[in-house]
A and B are shown apart, each in its own frame.
Chain A
Amino acid sequence: GDSVTQMEGPVTLSEEAFLTINCTYTATGYPSLFWYVQYPGEGLQLLLKATKADDKGSNKGFEATYRKETTSFHLEKGSVQVSDSAVYFCALSDLGNEKLTFGTGTRLTIIP
């Protein structure tokens, strides 16, 4: 079945550091890939998505590229801010499937 493996957390970085959160997936078809973010005490919000190979999703300075050859969708940001502190979830939805499969989440803390 489908699965998503995320980089273990927690991750702590200084403000303005470069961020990478790794995500790899296993899927039987041609999935769409997502990154969701959860701020403290809130529900999940869609951060970015990509629907086919080599697509790049981007939002709020975050980027992720759909790499079919390595089955990966790593999240990157060039210069993180304290306000980026949150839990980040990688997820996939296989073609024709309305359900999402989530990774276990990566807690990110940015210190000033």
Chain B
Amino acid sequence: DAGITQSPRHKVTETGTPVTLRCHQTENHRYMYWYRQDPGHGLRLIHYSYGVKDTDKGEVSDGYSVSRSKTEDFLLTLESATSSQTSVYFCAISGLAQSSYNEQFFGPGTRLTVL
């Protein structure tokens, strides 16, 4: 168990509302990632972080922002949710000294529905 949790686990919201998803880790991994999973697309990287206050865009970053103010928390925000952002969102972590830096551990996921 890599000590990674996501909240909420399920959320239903309406188009145009802001939504924030939280990823929390307990093991001091350097890297944190947000992915979305959609049928036929596998997992696609939204944003990732390589340290506190250090973030970068992934392949599907439009409409999403992130923040990492402390090592253990990585927040994903949809400023104005749209129906195309209905998806399952996964957080992942990597970079602990004892394991390969590119071996990622995944959270349980958040199912988001935008009506």
User: Hey, which bits of chain A sit against chain B, CB under 8 A?
Assistant: 32, 34, 36, 42-46, 49, 51, 89, 93, 97-100, 102-105
Beta-carbon contact of A100 and B42 below 8 Å: no
Beta-carbon contact of A105 and B90 below 8 Å: no
Beta-carbon contact of A43 and B31 below 8 Å: no
Cβ of B108 to closest chain A Cβ, rounded Å: 5
Query: Given A89-B43, A104-B42, A105-B42, do A99 and B58 touch, yes or no (CB 8 Å)?
Result: yes
Which residues in B have their C-beta under 8 angstroms from that of A32? Answer: 100, 102
Beta-carbon contact of A46 and B103 below 8 Å: yes
Beta-carbon contact of A99 and B48 below 8 Å: yes
Which residues in A have their C-beta under 8 angstroms from that of B33? Answer: 99
User: Hey, which bits of chain B sit against chain A, CB under 8 A?
Assistant: 31, 33, 40-45, 48, 50, 58, 90, 92, 94-95, 100-109
Residue from A36, A43, A89 in contact with B108 in the complex, judged by beta carbons closer than 8 Å = A43
Beyond the given A46-B105, A98-B50, A99-B45, please list 7 additional residue pairs across the A-B interface where CB-CB is below 8 A: A32-B100, A42-B109, A45-B106, A46-B103, A46-B104, A102-B44, A104-B42
Beta-carbon contact of B41 and A104 below 8 Å: yes
Query: Most B CB atoms within 10 A — which of A34, A36, A43, A105?
Result: A43
Query: Most B CB atoms within 10 A — which of A46, A49, A89, A100?
Result: A100
